[in-house]
Structure formats: structure tokens, C-alpha cells
Amino acid sequence: MNSLRHIFMALSMGIVIGVIFGSLKSVLRKKAPSPKQVEFMRGVINKFAVVLKYVTMTLLVIGLLWCIYFLLLGIIVPTQADYADNMSELIVSVLTVISIIFAFVEFIRQKDQKLK
């Protein structure tokens, strides 16, 4: 477990360092992207948003199904109620993160469409 903790600490530090250097690069580089690059990225974001929409909806339906299962498990087998509660909370937490990512991508996509 200790090595897993070190791996996640290293990944976190790598992300922070990458964001710092990336922001420095974007501040120091004054070159604006070409219209061709902007159109390409809009297309990529739109395609990604369509795929993400279906993945999100599928995961939400599967999460609802499993939350119902764990609700019934807690009702039918009261000794498993704590386990069922913890698993339901875990499912809801993961689905919340996925939904936030989907909302962020849709926000960016809508913002780009208004700029056209």
C-alpha cells in the first residue's frame, strides 16, 4: 500500500509541475493559433463531446442499476447494510466526477459555438 501511495504522490507532483511549466510556456509564447488549428480543435472537441455524452449516459444508467441493487441488498440482508451503503456512495462519487467532466466539456463546446 505504501508503494501505491508513492506512485500517486509522484503522479500528483508530475501533474502540478506540468501545469506550472505549461502555464509558463503559454504566458511566454505569444503566438496565436492559426484558424486551421482552431477549427481542428473544435472538431475534436465536438467529436469527443458526442462520445462522452453516450459514455456518461451509459454509466449513469449502470450506476442507477447498481445503486438499486445495493439498496435492495441492504434491505434484504441487514448485516450487509454498511457495505451496501459504502458501495453506493462510491458509485455516486465516481458518477459525480464523470458528470462534472461531461458538463465541463459541454460548457466549452457551447462557448465555442457562440463564438462562431
pLDDT by 10-residue block (mean), the chain, 116 residues: 86 94 83 83 86 90 92 92 93 93 85 65
Give this prediction's pTM: 0.68
Q: What does the pLDDT read at residue 115?
A: 63
What 8-state DSSP symbol labels residue 99? H
SS3 letters across 51-74: HHHHHHHHHHHHHHHHHHHHHHHH
Q: Grid coordinates in use for 32?
A: 496565436
Q: Quick one: pLDDT at residue 50?
A: 87
